[in-house]
Amino acid sequence: MSRPTMEDVAARAGVSRALVSIVYRDAPGASEATRARVLEAGAALGYHPDHRARLLGRTRTRLLGVTFDVQAPFQGDLVEALYAAAESSGYDLALSAVARTRSEARAVQSLLDYRCEALILLGPQLSASALADLATHQPVVVVARKVKAAGVDVVRTDDVDGSRQAVRHLIDLGHRNILHVDGGKAPGATERRTGYRNAMRRAGLTPVVLPGGSTEDAGVNAAQTFLKDPGEITAATIFNDRAAVGFLNTVRDSGLRVPDDLSVIGYDNTTLATLTHIDLTTIAQPTPALAKLAVERATVRLTTKTPPTEEVVAPHLIPRSTTAPSST
């Protein structure tokens, strides 16, 4: 069965195709009675307007294209904040997901096919040269990754300071043997590792870094490695909340009590961290501020010739039930 067209709606309602277009665009030129008749005909036929075709027919789409990792909870929170920021600026979002079966390059190309006026890329893995190439055609804003690429705006959290705050919190609780589970090659991992090491060394403590990653499985693997030889470790900072959940579940299954035997801190303050059975102490990235700045940079670059900038916002600690004073 073929998909109903605007012509089918016009024939059923007894009006012209142009009048159907006016009704579905919510433009002036049709009476209330005609609007009701056209919409009733469309509903009866199961007609849905092709918004993509409408966008491609415009001189301007007023669309901001956003790529995001479908498996990253923090990026999902950012998308929600971006909708509010875009709407208040008179723009809409087009989303394109990055997944195991869908590359970042494909996600970006999909947005370009929709003629998005600017791109907002959340934690992209693309090389600096690839980002710079994209920026020669439209404004590009990278969010949650420190990168230097010609023509590219950056909006990110001060991840070095975020890790410093995590270590400082644990030291203030009396912990001295503090582990860091690394984020591997994930955006922000280098800065968080640097912040941890700097904070430990300034306190006269020895950094201990375990390989990790950004997923629950990475947290599980890191915990299993840690449990083989926990030594005198009484606290751990984990690359992000998602990995922290895998780490927490594994150490608890081993019989260690959190936070009595081991304090744990995540990063991002995602919805995962707020679940009552997890209640994770974490470093919060201010998603509304990041989203607002990202949309501002995209729209400013669209309307002016200002050069790209790097906007850095401050994270903050949110203590919950997975950290407590050291028992040793």
Tens digits of per-residue pLDDT, 224-234?
A: 999 999 999 99
Per residue, the 3-state secondary structure of 42-59, as one string, reads HHHHCCCCCHHHHHHHCC
Per cent of the chain over pLDDT 70 is 96
Return residue ranges of the chain for CATH 3.40.50.2300.
60-157+286-313, 159-285
Tens digits of per-residue pLDDT, 137-196?
A: 999 999 999 999 999 999 999 999 999 999 999 999 999 999 999 999 999 999 999 999
Helix (H, G, I), strand (E, B) or coil at 278: coil
pLDDT band at 126 (very low <50, low <70, confident <90, very high): very high
Return residue ranges of the chain for CATH 1.10.260.40.
6-49
Q: How far apart are CA 237 and CA 260, in angstroms?
A: 16
User: Is the pLDDT reported for residue 52 higher than 60?
Assistant: no
DSSP state for residue 251 in the 8-state scheme: H
Sheet hosting strand 281-284, strand order edge to edge: 208-210, 178-181, 235-238, 263-268, 281-284, 316-318
Cβ atoms of 220 and 250 within 8 Å: the answer is yes
One-letter amino acid of 173: L
Mean pLDDT along residues 284-297 = 97
Q: How far apart are CA 307 and CA 301, in angstroms?
A: 8
CA distances from 79 to 21, 67, 84, 156, 308 (A): 31, 9, 9, 15, 22
Cβ atoms of 112 and 63 within 8 Å: the answer is no
Q: Is the pTM of this model over 0.85?
A: no
Where does residue 252 rank: exposed (0-12), middle (13-18), buried (19+ CB within 10 A)? middle
CB atoms within 10 A of CB 46: 10
CATH fit for domain 159-285, picks 3.40.800.10, 2.60.40.420, 3.40.50.2020, 3.40.50.2300: 3.40.50.2300
Which range, 2-16, 41-55, 268-282, has the best average confidence (pLDDT)?
Answer: 268-282
User: Is the pLDDT reported for residue 277 higher than 70?
Assistant: yes
What is the pLDDT, as a whole number, of residue 236? 98
pLDDT band at 280 (very low <50, low <70, confident <90, very high): very high
What is the pLDDT, as a whole number, of residue 59? 53
What is the pLDDT, as a whole number, of residue 45? 86
Q: How far apart are CA 56 and CA 9, in angstroms?
A: 22
Name which of 2-6, 105-109, 152-156, 212-216 the model is least confident about.
2-6
What is the pLDDT, as a whole number, of residue 35? 87
Domain boundaries 60-157+286-313, CATH class: alpha beta
User: Is the pLDDT reported for residue 56 higher than 60?
Assistant: no
Mean pLDDT along residues 110-114 = 90
Could you confirm whether domain 6-49 is CATH 1.10.260.40? yes
What is the pLDDT, as a whole number, of residue 221? 98
Question: At how many degrees (to 10) do helices 73-88 and 241-253 cross?
Answer: 150
